[in-house]
Structure formats: structure tokens, C-alpha cells
Structure 1
């Protein structure tokens, strides 16, 4: 019977999202959603709160819940965790990933450091380039502190590398964005000219106990349609 067993919250959210399309003006009512998903009304209400926080729906007291019909065209959401290859493929392009370099190093003082890790920290440094239909698109340099012996595959996503290398299950990322000119090393990896203007995003991924899982620095060339960075935030009048 509906409501007998609480569904996984993320699974319930996915089921609700599949019940409306970009052309729908409103979502079904909470009782109807509970009936359609087999979840309790309380579970549905919590799912709708989370969907509103993520920008999927707009809820107004006394009115029906309206979906955000612009979502399919916003591109990649930088306020959510993402995987470049999946984002590229979902936008209708063919992704490819190149591991440009991978090395174990100890950090030394320098003006080009973008992290706040202590000097002499042992890290796995990787440089990766993603391509869209064969054309260079994004480059990421990751610094993953290594505090345990593990067989680290540098091709893996930085989230997985952090958990294997230092045991941190990343809960949050703090990100800084600025416009920069490409240095020679990154320009060469992206097959473009030094000083090419790009958007640079610097991330710090850390766990619930504030332990740092990784630092990452990413640059992107102008994105094809469907891959532009987008941020969705709730506006309350």
C-alpha cells in the first residue's frame, strides 16, 4: 500500500521529476504524487522542499507547485556535483578524457600555488583534459593529499581519488571564480595560445569534519551550446 515503506529520498525525487515535462504548467498535488509514487505525503512534501532548494520547482502557499521550465536549456549547473564526460554526453556531444600527466610530489612554497595545504604535503597531482567531439574544452589540475598507501588510478574522478588517497568522503566544495589569461603549460595542453582569456574555477573539496580531500583548479574554453555554466538560485520576493 502507498506509504507503507519510505522510499530512498533521491529515488523519490527522480520519480517526481519523471512525472512532469518542460511543457507542464504544474505538478500533480501532494496527495496525487503520493498515490503515483507509492510514498507517504510527508515523504513527498520533503522531496518537494528539496526540489525547490535545487531550483526545480516553485512552491507558493495556496497554489499548485510549478516546475522550472527553463532547466532543460541551462547547460551545466555549477551549484551541483557533476562529471564532465556525463555533462558533455547529455548535451549531445561525444566526450573524451586525456590524462595529460600524473605524479606524486611534495608541495613546496611558490607563487603559483592555489591551495592552502601545508608545505611538504605529499599529493597526487593530475592534469586532465576533456574534449567535446574532439575539440579541447576543459582542463583540470587536481591536488589530492596522500595519507594512506593505496593503488591510485589517476583516471578516476577526483572525488573517488580523495576517498582512496586520504579517506575523506567529500561533503562540500567551496569554489572561487575569476577571469585569467592562460599560462603556457595549460595553453599547450588545450592547443591554444598563451594569454588566451578563460574562466578559472578553483575548488576545495572537504569532508563533514573539515578535512581536505582535494584542491582543484579548472579552466574552460568557450563552451558549445548546452554546456555553458549555469547557477540557479531561489528568489524570494
Structure 2
């Protein structure tokens, strides 16, 4: 993924964040340490607070979120399974279970997308293992509007850019608890009917065009790989309780 200048400032502050004690340096000092302007540092801190890395209080210095490294895999941020597994201290393995072109048919009960009937898609099914044990399975549907040769091992957002020209800007995600069907159970070495978490994603660009649909299920996550969402807590002062 391409990085902006602002992303570079954030990366440099994150490097300092990982070594911070109770507080981060002041904004002028951060500007000096990162080689960025005060305005760029201030914008970076706003974005880092939104992502849960820091907490800012008016009149005091910025405090780092020290519990964040133990949170697990953040579903509110883009991730790569193999990198997440390795960073948690495990050995990842990616297996391509299926890939190919198909046409989406009306009335198919297994469909999870909202693409028009008859859409040509490049479909992949991938399984990630943790220290040899199956952990997650993802099925991706990438609309095809051009004839290109695609490497199914590549990340879905890269395949979308090649297959339909959409540079994905956002993902909408829905989370459900489902019973594992027989086909996916076999790939995950799990029992059919076992309860699992299912996450369905739609990746789309700034022009609203759909780059991909993806459906993922996971079996019980080992330590360090639980799905986590970090959100800020705001306290409204001066509001009395009933």
C-alpha cells in the first residue's frame, strides 16, 4: 500500500510510542524528533487518538495506550493474517484451497454479496494455519471487468485493483455467530455445526464501486490472535444523572 507524508509522520511517532513511558514528548519535541511541522504532528496525534494509540488531555501531555500491544488482532484496522500470526509469535502457513472464474447466479443460497446476478468474479478460498493447525478461512469474490491473469495468492485488495481497477478506500464489515457448514468444516479440520465467528466484508472505492466481497470464518483463536476493537471513551462533564 502507498504511504502518504502524514503516514510517515505517524510511523515515526509510533516508533517513539513503542519506547514511551507514562507520556509522549510534547508536540514541539515530537516535531523536533520526527523532523515534521507542529501542524503535521498535531494531525498525526489526532489520528493516533482515533485509532486508540494515545489519549490526549487538554493541558497535559499525551499518554500512550500501554495495553494496546496485548489486545490481539485489531479488526478496526487492515491486517494480513500471515503477518498477524507471525507477530503473535506463531508460524503462519497459507494454503490456497480453490480459485477460478465463475458467474454469480440468482437464487444461490450460499451467496453473501450484493453484486448483480450474472457478474463475473474471480473467486479464491484461502486457509491460514497457526503452527500447522487451521485457524481462518476466507472466501473472496472479486468482480472482473477486464481479462487479466491473476495470482490468487496475492492479497484481495491488490487483486481488486488488477481485476476491476478499484483502489479500495473503505471496508464495511458485518460480524455474525454461525454454525460451521460441512465444506468449510473440512478445510478447517473442525466439526460440522461447530459455532464460529463469521465476518463479511465489502471493500469499495471512493467512487462507490465494489472492489471485492469477502467472507471469513475462524475457529478458536490462540492467545495474541483474538479479534479486538479499540474505541475511545468520552466523559461528558456537567451532565447530571437522573
Divergent runs of 4+, >2 A: 20-23
Consecutive unaligned residues of structure 1, counting only runs of 5 or more, are 1-6
What is the correspondence of 1:197-208 to structure 2 with a 5 Å cutoff? Answer: 197-208=195-206
Question: 1:50: which partner in 2?
Answer: 47
Q: Which runs of 5+ in 2 are unaligned?
A: 236-242
**Equivalent position of 1:27 in the other structure:** 24
Match of 1:3 in 2: none
Structure 1 CA distance for aligned equivalents of residues 81 and 66 of structure 2: 23
Q: Partners of 2:19 and 2:180 in 1: how far apart?
A: 38
Deviation string, structure 1 residues 44-98 (Cα, Å, up to 9, x no partner) = 1111111111110011111111111111100100000000000000001110000
> Hey, what's the Cα distance between the residues in 1 that align with 2:220 and 2:88?
15
TM-score by length of 2: 0.93
For the pair 1:108 / 2:105, whether they are aligned, the reply is: yes
Q: Is the 8 A contact 1:13 1:47 kept in 2?
A: yes
What is the rounded CA distance, in whole Å, between the counterparts of 2:231 and 2:176 in structure 1?
20
The aligned counterpart of 1:86 is 83
CA distance in 1, matches of 2:172, 2:151: 25
TM-score by length of 1: 0.95
Output the aligned Cα RMSD: 1.1
Mapped to 1, the partners of 2:20 and 2:59 lie a distance apart of 22
Q: Distance in 2 between matches of 1:21 and 1:147?
A: 44
- Mapping for residues 58-73 of structure 1, pairs under 5 Å: 58-73=55-70
Task: Give the CA deviation at 1:235.
Answer: 1.4
Report the CA distance between 1:19 and its aligned residue.
1.3
Shift of 1:21: 3.3
SS at match of 2:16: coil
* Per-residue CA distance 1:119-159 (angstroms, 9 max, x = gap): 11000111000000100000000000000111101111100
